[in-house]
Each structure stands twice: as structure tokens, then as C-alpha cells.
Chain A
Amino acid sequence: MTVRALQKISVARNGVGAFILQCKKMDFHYCDWAGSSKGMNGFIKSLLPKFAAAHPQIEFTVSPRPAKHPVIIAHYINGREKAVCVRNMEPFEILKKAELLRDASGEKLRRVTKPVSSINESVRGIWSPYHGEGMRV
């Protein structure tokens, strides 16, 4: 019987060694003419330079998208993307949306009832009635 190695793929646990922000790229689309882009244009002029300078790990692109509502599209490490339409919003509201996209993990939203999720095995082991001193009846 040959000795076979255990097949084991390492599981990423972001933050245990190094922490990597999951958002890798953000696209900001605006329109010069439309009124719904008014806040977005102000955001790009006033707040975006500071926001982009604070996050060197994210790639920022700004591009016009004429005759459409303004939108922020965030791309994540896991391959997914999230888009938020920011029509008729004020610059500071748009900043909040940008921060929301920055903090997101890129996963689909789902309801979680248990707060702790662990892949470690149990520290104290599984209780057994046949070991130890037993129970007096």
C-alpha cells in the first residue's frame, strides 16, 4: 500500500496574515449634460481626488457615459462586481455609496444567523460518554 499525500488546498483567510482590501477597481461614470449627473460631477471635482488618494490599493477610472444616469461600478477580487446608480444624489451621498462599495466583500448579500464562522477543528474535542471517569447514576 503506497503512502499518498493528503490533498489539501489552502483556504484564504483574509486578515490572518495580511489584510487585503477586496475592492480592486472602481469606475465612475458621469454625463456632462444631464441634470441627474450634477451631484456626480461635483463629486468628481471635489471629493474624488481625496478619496482616491486615500486608497492607493484601488484602481480608479472616471469616464463619461453620455445620456445615461451616473453610476459607480466596483470590481472585487472574487471576480464579481457591484454597480450603484447615483442619479440625483448630492456629492456626500455619493461618497457614502463609494465607501459602501469599498467596504463590501464582493459576495452576494445573504442572511447569516450565526455570528462566528470557523474552519478550525474543535479545541476541546467531542465529548464521549465512554471516556473519562463516567457518570454516577
Chain B
Amino acid sequence: MSRALLRSALGLRAPVLRLTAPSVPRATPSLFTPAAAALPTTTAAVRFFNQTAQHVEPTQDPSVLLPSTPSSSSTTTAPSQQQQQQQPPTQQSQPRPLSPTVRALLPILAAQPGHYIRIHIHGRPFLVTEGDSLRLPFRLRGVQTGDVLRLDKASVLGSRDLTLKGAPYVDERLFTCRAVVTGVEAEPMRVMIKKKQRCRRKKHVRSKHRFTVLRICEVRVNGEVVDEA
């Protein structure tokens, strides 16, 4: 689905709120599936999460599909170097066509039973499979419990025998990864005692962080990818 189509599907609130939207750091999960969009927000908080700009990397080389054998020989990386020489860096206005190796091996990757994926949220990598619970080390802003997020930044996507490595990210057309926000957890209150020598005074510094918990509800490799170009 193109971004313009999704933006139009999300309704008119996106361009209005974009005036007040702060700049969000790169490599955020930028697509927001409005499964709970009908759910009215109880607070007047502006939800910035679906207004993040598309993060497009100036990639030089296409993502390379390597067979992951236990004894890694140097011959497997040979096609990637050829691909780098063939493809000059182009404008990122339209999606780049896939390399023939990826196109050939993608149905095999999709046909294998289990998949793992290394997704990036706010630049942090998390290696997950379908059904995993992911407790982020931070609180995700602009999401509510029950929202479904589409995570479109992944650096590695693989199965038992094949691994698709992105440079730095795998093309987002090749896979679908969705996560449900299941809630916000907290940790027990931490108390740090600050004490100086030869001084009776003790200072208790308390902190308690809150963490967003996601559940990876879908990891799918799109076996058939149609090039628009």
C-alpha cells in the first residue's frame, strides 16, 4: 500500500496535526494501522505517531540474500559485490527495483515455516518471532493500548536456511510485521542512596520508569512483490 493511500485512509487529521507535530527521531515505526482508530481518545493529547515522515535511507547497495550455512565461505558474498557495482545510487523518489537474487530466493524464504525478524524501533534492534512479547526499554509516545502498529524497519529477516540482510534496512515491501500495544508496564521503584564521605546526610533518589509492551502479532514474508517501476 502506498503511503499516500494510507494517509488518505487515515482521514483528515494528519495534515492538520502535522503543524504542531514535533520532529520524531529517525527509524521509528512510521505506519500506523488504525485498528483502534475508532476508539476516541480520552485525553486531549495529540497523537503524533502516525505523522512521522517516511524514513528513506540513501542506500547504495540492495539488500542481499545469503544462504546461511554454518561454515560461512567467502564465495557466498560474491553476488553482493557484483550488485554493488551494477547499481549506482539513484534518487529515492520511487521504490527501487529488487535485485534478481532477492527476487529468485524470496519465494523460498516465504515458503519456509518459521521466520525471525530484527526490527528497529527508535533505532534499537529487537530480534523477534511471531507471538513474542516485546517490552520496549522506553515508553512509546502517541500510542494507546490496543493500537496495532506496522513495524516497517527491519535489518534482518530470515528463516531456518535463508537470511535476508538489509543495507541498512530490508525493503519494507518484502515483509509485513505488525504489533499490538498490550499496555504500559512499570518497574518497582528504584531508590539510590547518595552519600558523601564524612557527612551524615543521605539523599534518597527515587525513580520509576514506564515501558510500553508490544505483542508481535504478525510476521509475514511477502513472496510476491510487484514492482511499480
Contact = CB atoms under 8 A, between A and B. Distances in A.
Contact of B131 (A54, A102, A120, A124): A120
**Most B CB within 10 A of own CB, among A104, A105, A115, A116:** A115
B180 A127 contact: no
Interface stretch (A1-9, A12-20, A32-40, A60-68): A12-20
A135 B71 contact: yes
Contacts of B42: 50-51, 54-55, 95, 99
B187 interface: yes
Interface string B60-79: 00000000111100000000
A103 interface: yes
B166 interface: no
Interface residues of A, number: 39
Nearest to A132: B70
Contact count band on B: 35 or more
Nearest to A124: B160
B187 to A, nearest CB: 5
A119 interface: yes
B75 to A, nearest CB: 12
A54 B127 contact: no
Per CB-CB distance, the 4 closest pairs between chain A and chain B, nearest first, are: A15-B215, A15-B180, A132-B70, A103-B184
